[in-house]
Every structure is written in C-alpha cells, then in structure tokens.
Structure 1
Amino acid sequence: MIKRRTTLGLLASAIALPRLMLPRDAMAAGTEPEILLEKITAGTLPPMIERVPKTPRIVNLAAMGRTPGSYGGSIRILIGSQKDIRAMFINGYARLVGYDEKLSFQPDILEACEVEGEKVFTFRIREGHRWSDGSPLTSEDFRYTWEDVVLNEDLRKGGVQQELLADGKPPRFEVLDARTVRYSWDAPNPDFLPNLAAALPLILLLPAAYMKQFHKTYQTEEQLKTFMKKYRVKKWVDLHIKMSRQNRPDNPDLPTLDPWQNTTASPAEQFIFDRNPFFHRVDENGMQLPYIDRVVLNVSTPGIIAAKTGGGEADLQAQNIDFTDYAFIKDSEKRYPVKVKLWKRTQGSRVALLPNLNYGDPVWQGLLRDVRVRRALSLAIDRREINMVAFYGLGKESADTVLPESPLYKPEYAAAWSQHDTEQANRLLDEAGLTGRNEDGMRLLPDGRLAQIVVETAGESTLETDVLELVTDHWAKIGIPLFIKTSQREVFRNRTMGGEIMMSMWLGLPNGVPTADMSPSPLAPSTDDQLQWPVWGMHYLSLGQFGHAPELPEAQKLVDLLKEWRRTADNAGRTRIWHEMLSIYTDQVYSIGMVNATLQPILHTSRMQNVPEHGLYGFDPTCFFGVYMPDTFWLGDKVS
C-alpha cells in the first residue's frame, strides 16, 4: 500500500479489502498456462512459484464484481500504424504506482511506496520480482536508470526533465538496499506520483543488465560500432534510445514488466505479443495473470478500421472507432459473436475549438486575445444542435471543463459562456470593434479584410468536419465566416507552433475526471503542444530558455497557480488551486468546448469475460483499458 506520513492518512485501493494473504503453496499447486508447459517440462522455464514474486500483487476479482478466469486463447486488435503498438504499453498499464478504477493510487510493480510530505518517496521492490527474461529486478535497475541515463549529458542533453524538478532542482537518489531506493527533494513534488501513473509515465526503471551492453560506460567502442551498424544508427546515444523504448515496445529483446511482451521486430504488418511468464500479478485463486496468452496487433489503414471492426476482424477494439461508427458496429452483433458496449469518454469536450493566442497575424492575434471575442464565438454556438445531430442527444452540452465524475466538478464551470445567445455574441463583437460589415453581412477587420476564421484539423475524424459544418452556420449569424482546412497531424502541430494556424479543432481537456492530486498543467501554458498557446507553453517547458511568457495577465496567473500547486503538499491547498484555475480557464474561454460525456464504442468478442459494462475511456488518467486491467479479461465458453 501507499503510506503518506501526513494528515492525508492512508491511501487505499478500490480493490484493497483487508489484504489477502495468499499462501505460497496455493501458487505452487496452481494450474500453469498450457502455452508454457513445454518450457516448464523441459526445464527452460521455472514453475510459477519461482516465477512470481514472493509478495505478488493480488487482484481480488470477486471484490471488484468480476469473475476469476481461466488461461488461454488469443485476441486480435487493429492498429492504425506500427507506432500504435504503444497501445500495448498503455493498456497493459504496469506501473511503479498506478491508479485503480476509482483513480486512487495503488502500488503495482512496487510492493510499497512511502511518501513523506510530498518530498521524500521511498520505493520497496517486491522480493523475487523478475523481468520478462527471468533476470532479477533490483535497486541496480533504478540506479542505472538514474545515474547512467537521466544524469548522462549525452543521453539527456537538456538536463533532468522538468517533471523531476521541484523548485528547479532534481532529487537526491539513494540506494538503501537491494530492494529499496529513495528519491528526495527539499521542496514538495506532488506531481511525482501522477507522472509515474500516467499513460506515458516518467521512466525511472530500465533493465540494467540488458541495457548496459548499449552504453558507452559499460561496452567497448568496437562492440558499440558493431551494434550501431546492426541496428542502423550513427551514434551510441541513438542506439541506446532505440533499444530502450518501453512506451513503444518495438524491440522484442527488451525485457519488460508488462503483462504481454512483443515478439515481432519492426517493420511488420502484424505484431504478436505473448504472455510475460514472470508477470507480478495473480488472482485470488493463485492463478498468474494475464489470463489471455496472446495479443495480435494487425496494422491497417486508420480510415477503414471501423469497417474492419464491424466486419468481424477484431476481438477487442476501441481505438480508431468513434461514436459515429456505433450504429454500424452495433449491427455487427447480428452477424458475428461480438458484444458492443458504450463507455463514457473522459475529455473535457469531445471536440473543442482552440484559438491560437500566439497566431502570427497581429490583427487577428489582438482579436483572439480579446476575451470578448472568445466569449462571443462560444455563445454563438448552438451546442444542443451539435449534441442532437452528432451524438443523438446522448452527450452533455458544456464548456471545456471537468465532468461530474470528478470531485472538482462545479456546474458553473460547465455553464461558463456555453449557453446559446446570438444576440449577446453580436453585442460582444461590436464592443470589440468588429462593427464593419460587407454587403453579405459578414464582419470586416479594422484593416478592411474579411473577418474569416480558418479552423484547421488533423483530418482524422469525420466527426470534426461534421461539427464544423454546424458551427459554420452558427457563426454566420454573427457575421463571422468559417473556412475548414485539414492537414496531417505532424504538419498541423508544427504550423501551430510557428504561429501559422489561427484556430484548430482538437480534443478538449485531456483529463476530464481529475482529482486534486493530479496535475492541473493542461489548464495553464505548460507545454509546446498546447494548441491555444504553444509559444507560452514552450517558455514554461524550457524553464524560460525558449518562447516567451504570456502577455495576458490571466494566462500568466494560471502559470503562477500551476507553480504554486507544484509547491503545495496538502490536499486542501491543491483543491483550492484547482478550483481557482478552473474558474479562470472557463471564464476566459481559452478553449471553446461543445459537448462532453460523449460515448465511446467498445467492441469485444462475446466470449470475453470481465470487460466492465460501463467505464471511463481516455488516454489519461484511465489509460484506455488500463485501469480496468485487461490482464484480468479472459475467454470463456459462455457469452458475456
């Protein structure tokens, strides 16, 4: 469990009833996965009692309202590109510390995590824990990752990443014994555990025994050159990075702690992930997880994945299908042994308009930075029509903000400038100086140009263009013509950073179900990929080396509050900061949300058990299927 030596007391898991003391002889007598029997019989793989840590993570499925399962079978998942194999890392969701279904912290790979004042974090490794190749997991793996990777000036030219800084300083790292390490800061670092639990987490743990062969400190120059030639890289740094990628598991030889391990080298059109025989979780009956032996990822063109899913080519699918595909995919239940469920998406808005406050055109930049213009554009949108047309009325009309499932939710955040009021929108635009109009009634800029807003998208969903067609009609009523432009995702992001995109359509807040313990960074200029203020975000991300600070006082206030949150150790203080930031963000309309609490189709083979009927689906914090533990899904004979 996670211990906090503060007034917060003990953080408990949603599945942590009184701790299960599973006898070792129960595991020793447990049934082995059939796929492993040949190796066990041949003596090339030890029996379960020797593969699983002495204190495994025990998943009490009955307490979760699910059914203990049986071993076997394989499932198919469709992915849009080879890069999308990272979905296995996200969905597998093996983390040092992770979230449970109620979004409380839970030690996972770690046996225990003790936190003192959000400054000192002591990690205890499970005794007997092993990497997927059978090598022991020890403090040396943490030490190697910290001293030889994070602190290596060649591998980390920008220095220690910001997520590991508290008041601009990195932690002190200590090895206390073979199973215990400690990270200590002089100032609080409340973002540390959330970063470890994230979909793409901080990497503090690499398999040292394997990775040392690619590191100049431990390998001869001659052998490094041989490896560089073999793996087609020019520098040892590139070699080390390529061979160590955990969040994109395309190196089949890299030992892992995930439930399934890749067995296929890139490039390939199909990737096969087999069960990790040393995985650290077991169910209450002593059966080692995962239940399912193999996951097969088939690469397909993104635009036809929905059609293939509805055509019976997937056994578990959520990525690359959307609510617009629901009717077609649901109809596949009549033709194939599949089940389609609807989960709630976690974004603050399913689609949102993001005015680029760093847009290069000085006239438009001034207008987009005028809160009256942003409020007017929001008020002009008929969210009820969008909800009814695009989501059959099943979503919730709202500003871009947190959902009712979050303890931080307040109705006033959802209502902020989101009511449909064309009259007030016209009045605000007049007050902002956009009084001139052409013969068609469209507004003119102060320099005489047509006040046309160009909204760009990555062109990855018909939903975006469908919604924008409706918004085109809404904005025409306030004299603002809208032009839709699509481009590829990489080009799209680069052009935004360069100030070339006026406004974009993207997802709203990535995490609409936060707790006060989660970072409020999406509400403030904090990264260069935030489409409404990438230059300001780069300034924060680079610690002032690049970009520049926000010129708008309200945006700078959000930055100041984010910094204050990172210095705050108590829950009450973090909650206060969250509410102040949510109030500013929604009142200033830095993103124009439309509809949230929309639904995500989840298709699975009807034989698959333990897939929840309802769930929250998103990248962070639920890691797609991750917090629902796909390693506990299993294939039975009955229809679920």
Structure 2
Amino acid sequence: MINRRTLLGLLASTTLSVRIAAASSKSSPAAALDTPGGLPDKPRRVDLAAMGRMPGKRGGTIRMLIGGQRDIRLMPIYGYARLIGYDEALNLQPDILESFETTEDRIFTFRIRQGHCWSDGSEFTTEDFRFCWEDIYNNRELHRGGIPTDLRVDDRAPVFEILDKWTVRYSWHAPNPDFLAQLAAPSPLKLAMPAAYLKQFHARYQDPETLAKLCKKYRVENWSDLQLKMSRTNRPENPDLPTHDPWRNTTEPPASQFVFVRNPYFHRVDENGTQLPYIDRVLLNSSSADIIAAKAGAGESDLQLMNIDFADYTFLKSAEDRFPIKVNLWKRTQGSRIALLPNLNCNDEVWRLLLRDVRVRRALSLAIDRTEINKAVFYGLAHESANSILPESPLFKPEYARAWAAYDPEEANRLLDEAGLPRTHPHGIRSLPDGRPATIIVENAGENNFESDVLELIADHWREIGIKLFSHSSQRDLFRKRVIGGEAIMSVFQGLDNGVPTADMPPRELAPTADDQLQWPVWGLHYLSGGSDGHPPDMPEAIELVDLMRAWRRASTFAEREAIWHRMLQRFTDQVFTIGIVNAALQPVVRSSRLRNMPDKGLFGFDPTSYLGVYLPDTFWLEEEV
C-alpha cells in the first residue's frame, strides 16, 4: 500500500498537472464578467497603503481545491461581505452599510449606501430588511419558533422600524451587546434578503399554481421548503440568488468545478477608485481531500488553506523550488488545536456521573504529557495549553492556559482514587462503580490524520493511571449524531473556535449555548431553541456559566463585559469542561507566487477572522507572468 507521504511525492513529480493548471489560469474570462455594473454613491474605500499593501489591477483567475461540493460554503466566509465587519485589528466597522449608530447597546440605527445594488442589479433598500423581518422571521411556516433566538433579549424581540428608504432601526428594551458581533460573524445573522428575487417563491406574493410548479421543478414538498432552498446563502448552490459577496457562483450543483465570477455591483474600491475585487474568477475544483496537499504542492492551486495541515509543510515548502508557489505559516486561533470533549450528556449513566465529577476531568487532563505530544506531532512548535484563549487576546491570563494542564500522573492517580475508581482489573485497569473496566471510547470524525497519532499517545498516558482508551471513527454527520444522541462518552475535535476574543465579543462558547458544543450538546440545544428542545443544564457550574452569559448580554459597559469574560474563563478552565492539548499551532497557507497583497503572516481560524475574510481577498491580485 502506498502511504500518504509517498503519494505526495509521486503526484508532485508529474508535470501534467502543471500544464493543466497553466491552461486553466490563462483561460478567457466568462461572458458574465462583461455585465455592466455599478457602485454605490458612497462606496467603501479600502486604503491599501495604510494596510502595507499596494493597489493592483483587475483581471485573472485563481484556482482553489475543495474536498467536495459542500465546501463551496467557504466562499461567503472568505469573501467576508458583512453589514458590519471586523478589520485586521478586530475592530468593528461598517462594510455593506454606510454607517451605524448605537445607543446604550440597545438601539441600533443602520444606514444603507444609496445606489447600492445586489449582484443582479436590483436595488438594495430597506425593503430587503422589511422582507427578512416581516415575511421570513415573522412567518410561522418559515420560522416555526418565531423571531430567531439571536434576535431576542430576555426572550423578547426588538422593535423594527423603517425610518426611510435607506435607514432601519432595531430597538430592544435592554442591552444586546452581541448584536453587532453576530453581524460580523463567519456565518452572520441575516437581517436583509434580496426581496425582489425571493418574492417569487413566497406564498404572500406568488399565486398557488405557480408555486406548485416551482415546487415540482425544484423537487421540494411545499412553498416554505422552496423559499428556504432558494434563499440559502451559507452554501451558495443557487446561481440565481443575488448576493453582496465579491464573487457569485455561476455553477449549479452537482459539479466537479464551481465557477465564481466577480460581482459587478460590489461595494468596495481601492484608494484610486478602482472597483474591487481585482480577481475576475475563482475556480473551485473538487478533489479527494487526501491528495489536495499533493496537488497544491504541484502548482494546481493558486490559493490553498483547507485540507492541508502542518504535517504537509515540509513537502509543500520543498515544492517552492519546483513550482511557482509560495508557502507561509499562519497561527491557528483555536483555543486548542485538538481537544478531548467529555460528553456530560451521554446516555451511559455511570460514565455520565463520573464525567460530571470535576476530579475525574482534572485527572484525565493531568495525566496527558503535552510536551511529548507537542514534540512528536507538532515538532515542538505549538504551545502546550488548556483549551483557552491565546496571548493575542487582550483577555489572556497565563493561569487560564495552565489550568490543570501540567503533566502530573501522581496527582491524577490520587484524584481517581478519591473519585472511587479502584485498580481491580488486570494490568492495573480501574473499575467503574458497576464493575466494568474503565474504558473510554473516543469518537472522531476521521478528518485529521494527526488525531490518531495524538490519541495513541494519550492512550499510553492514560494506561498509566488505569484508564483504557480506544478510538472510533465515523463520517462527520454520523459522528455528530452519536454525540448529540448521547451514544458517545467522549469525542475529539478542535477547541474553542475563537481564541482571540475581545470583551465585546460574546462568550457563548464558554457556556452551553449550541448543540454543536460536543461536551454538553443537549444543554446547548435547550439554550439555542429558547427552551423548546433539549434539557436545561443540571450541573451548578454549567448553570452558572449560562447565567453569566445572560448577564454579559445585559451588561451596559465594557468594564462589566470584561469582568464577566474573566469569571467565565476562570470557571471554564478550572472545571476542565474540555481537555485542551496544544494551541497556537501553525497552519501552512499556499499561494501562487504571482498572487499579491496576501499577508505573509496572519491568524488562521473560523471565528472571528473568517479564515481569509478580515484580510480582504477582494484586494488580492495577480501579477503578470514574466
């Protein structure tokens, strides 16, 4: 059998892929690029010189490799067009909006750029906000639970007002400090939708006969499913759906290549007044995830971040001598590159009670030799840490990173003895209260090769304290179902998404607030659903975190929010609700040697940087070949 490293070398040695790549990058622009466009009366001006970059020129095609059709969801994240967004320093500023005003963190007034259009040329006005509010969120056939939880404060919806054609206002009875952060998120809260296009799929505006024909055409059961399908923005599979993103999809799935072309009505310009984006087209080519690193190293991608990892760095760096690529290392922003997540909602009653005992969680963390893992898997370049925030965050304190993260098997053994787990089985394996051997099966999605290496090392560490560890891989959807359904005792995944928060960012990851938090998914579902699903937490420490999260949402000053963040970080790390291993790991980023304005160094993560988003890939441009 050919191993992965051998495969990388074989694929990199061929020149056929390079010839294909060159032909692709020189192809003529699609006819759609010639569509007349326009700018708002007051476009957003990007000062490239102030960012240490240079104005570029329009044109060209860049290629990216994706592991499957679902990865086209990355384009709206990369493009990062938001009503309000973060800059590189993680300060909020208007983007699609011309301006915004806040009063007491509870009244928000938004001003639209006059003359701004959706990508199909239809006018962008407050009608698009009204449609989203009135015809989507307040329609029980589309939103059975009513106004989304993210728009509620103390379970009360805001007052929505249209002040004029260009101005809207949202007012709450109490502060809603995470409202703007939700708008700047990688998957943002939607406030406006292209009404002129979507009304044709809505029962309020379309006759039943036509809706029935459309449902048949698009293979859905009813008009509400039709509306949801045609308006999906997180996976831009509908080429006709207007957007504000820098590039719009022109390819209907299924396909092996997706072509995104420049939005002719994009709202940003450089300091010379040249409309962005500079790049004409982005081609997303599907490939097996296992060979994407090899293809990127062979010059088949002009910009590659996903489906490559630090284990590929040596190979990719050596490919710079053979192919026109440049490889840089960015710092990952997760609270832990890899973390163990004890399922406090698992169905196994014995393990559920044990995992809710903080002594057991602390012991499992203390038994891990993070230095060995760092050296063996991350070449000693990561930082050994609990699952917590990074020094780049203004909220960072060393004690959060150190919490129960030292290697101390003696203390781990003492805690497990104290928790009532005696060593009565062969080879010193401990016994559970019901007599079973203390065996933990760690579920994983099988998407990262290094996970198995880390788990093998942890299995050796835990055996020394009388715990047996086995791993079980399954496809991601099944993996999540097993965890949410309580079938998994423990899982392995990355740690906190946002390891570089500010006090103005919501601390929701530190409390049970979502069903994708694998350490307490049922409690998270209860919060996410507004109490209509799941179960409320019944652990005092978890209840405290939810109360603190709600207190943060009511806080009216920065000092109050900062204090709450620190209380939550202290509780979250001291209680070891998740077991972090290392953070600040390095991520290879591959780009064409012709691609300009892409930073050599950056923070790599989903939230809050949206991977490439805060670095404005619409300002990247291609230098002509010599």
In the TM superposition, residue 540 of structure 1 has moved relative to its aligned partner by 1.4
Partner in structure 1 of residue 279 of structure 2: 292
Give the CA deviation at 1:390.
1.0
Q: Would the aligned equivalents of 1:348 and 1:508 in 2 still touch at CA under 8 Å?
A: yes
1:437 CA drift (Å): 2.5
Once residues 115 and 138 of structure 1 are traced to their aligned partners in structure 2, the CA distance between those partners, rounded to angstroms, is 20
Q: Please point out which of 325, 332, 339 is paired with 1:338.
A: 325
Match of 1:167 in 2: 154
Q: Is the 8 A contact 2:32 2:261 kept in 1?
A: no
Letter in 2 for 1:337: P
Task: String of CA shifts for 1:281-300, please: whole Å, max 9, x gaps.
Answer: 00001111001100000111
Separation in structure 2 between the aligned mates of residue 633 and residue 371 of structure 1, nearest angstrom:
49
1:411 aligns with 2:402: no
**8 Å Cα contact 1:52-1:128 kept in structure 2:** yes
- Distance, in Å, in 2 between the alignment partners of 1:212 and 1:36 is 29
Match of 2:64 in 1: 77
Residue type at the aligned position of 2:196:
A
- Answering whether residue 510 of structure 2 is matched by residue 519 of structure 1, we say no
Q: Is 2:214 the partner of 1:230?
A: no
Q: Amino acid of the residue matched to residue 299 of structure 1?
A: S
Question: How much does 1:36 deviate?
Answer: 9.3
> C-alpha displacement at 1:37, in angstroms?
10
2:81 aligned residue: 94
**8 Å contact 1:252–1:262 — kept in the other structure?**
yes
**Over aligned residue pairs, what C-alpha RMSD do you find?**
1.4
Alignment match of 1:210 (pick from 197, 205, 210): 197
8 Å Cα contact 1:129-1:280 kept in structure 2: yes
Match among 543, 552, 560 for residue 573 of structure 1: 560
Match of 1:593 in 2: 580
- Distance between the aligned counterparts of 1:637 and 1:223, measured in 2? 50
What is the match of residue 323 of structure 1? Answer: 310
Does the 8 Å contact 1:130/1:278 carry over to 2? yes
Matched, 1:63 2:50: yes
CA displacement at 1:216 relative to structure 2: 0.7
Q: State TM-score, norm by structure 2.
A: 0.94
Residue 263 (str. 1) matches residue 254 (str. 2):
no
Letter in 2 for 1:45: P
Native 8 Å contact 2:368 2:407 kept in 1: yes
> Which SS does the other structure have where 2:427 is aligned?
coil
Is contact 2:237-2:249 (8 Å) kept? yes
Q: Distance in 2 between matches of 1:36 and 1:458?
A: 38
Q: 1:331: Cα distance to partner?
A: 1.7
Match in the other structure for 2:611? 624
The alignment partner of 1:463 has SS state of: helix
Which residue of structure 2 aligns with residue 553 of structure 1?
540
Q: CA deviation at 1:543?
A: 2.2
TM-superposition CA deviations, 1:111-141 (whole Å, max 9, x none): 0010111111100000111111111111111
User: How does 1:174-573 map onto structure 2 within 5 Å?
Assistant: 174-573=161-560
The gaps in structure 2 that reach 5 residues or longer are 1-27
State the one-letter code of the partner of 2:372: E
TM-score by length of 1: 0.92
Q: CA deviation at 1:158?
A: 1.7
Give the aligned residue type for 1:490.
Answer: D
Worse-matched range after superposition: 125-134 or 432-441: 432-441
Quote the offset at 1:524 in angstroms.
0.5
Q: Report the alpha carbon displacement of residue 542 of structure 1 after superposing the two structures with TM.
A: 2.0
CA distance in 2, matches of 1:431, 1:243: 57
Q: Deviations over 1:340-387 (max 9, x none)?
A: 000001100000000001111111111111101100000010111111
Partner of 1:152: 139
Distance 1:505 1:202 in 2: 28
C-alpha separation between the residues in 2 aligned to 1:96 and 1:361?
Answer: 45
- Map 1:113-152 → 2, pairs under 5 A: 113-152=100-139
- Whether contact under 8 Å (2:511, 2:542) holds in the other structure is yes
Higher mean alpha-carbon deviation, 595-604 vs 76-85, is at: 76-85
The residue aligned with 1:24 is none
- The answer to whether the 8 Å contact 2:367/2:408 transfers is yes
**Which sits farther off after the overlay, 540-549 or 200-209?**
540-549
Q: Is the 8 A contact 2:218 2:226 kept in 1?
A: yes
- Unaligned 5+ segments in structure 1 are 1-33
Counterpart of 2:122 in structure 1: which amino acid?
A: S
The one-letter code of the counterpart of 1:612 is P
Q: Are 1:436 and 1:445, in contact at CA under 8 Å, matched by a contact in 2?
A: no
1:394 is displaced (CA, Å) by: 0.7
The residue type paired with residue 578 of structure 2 is: S
Q: Which amino acid aligns with 2:211?
A: L
Q: Report how far residue 436 of structure 1 moved.
A: 2.9
* 1:14 corresponds to: none
Change in CA separation of 1:215 and 1:437 when aligned onto 2, cut-off 3 Å: same
Q: Is the 8 A contact 2:33 2:262 kept in 1?
A: no
**Partner of residue 3, structure 2:** none
Number of aligned residue pairs: give it.
599
Q: 3-state DSSP class of the match of 2:285?
A: strand
Output the amino acid matched with 2:410.
E
Deviation at 1:463, TM superposition (A): 1.1
Q: Secondary structure at the match of 1:440?
A: helix
Change (3 A) 1:134 1:391: same
1:583 aligns with 2:570: yes
- State the SS of the aligned residue for 2:111: strand
1:359/1:502 contact within 8 Å kept: yes
Q: What residue number does 1:45 align with?
A: 36
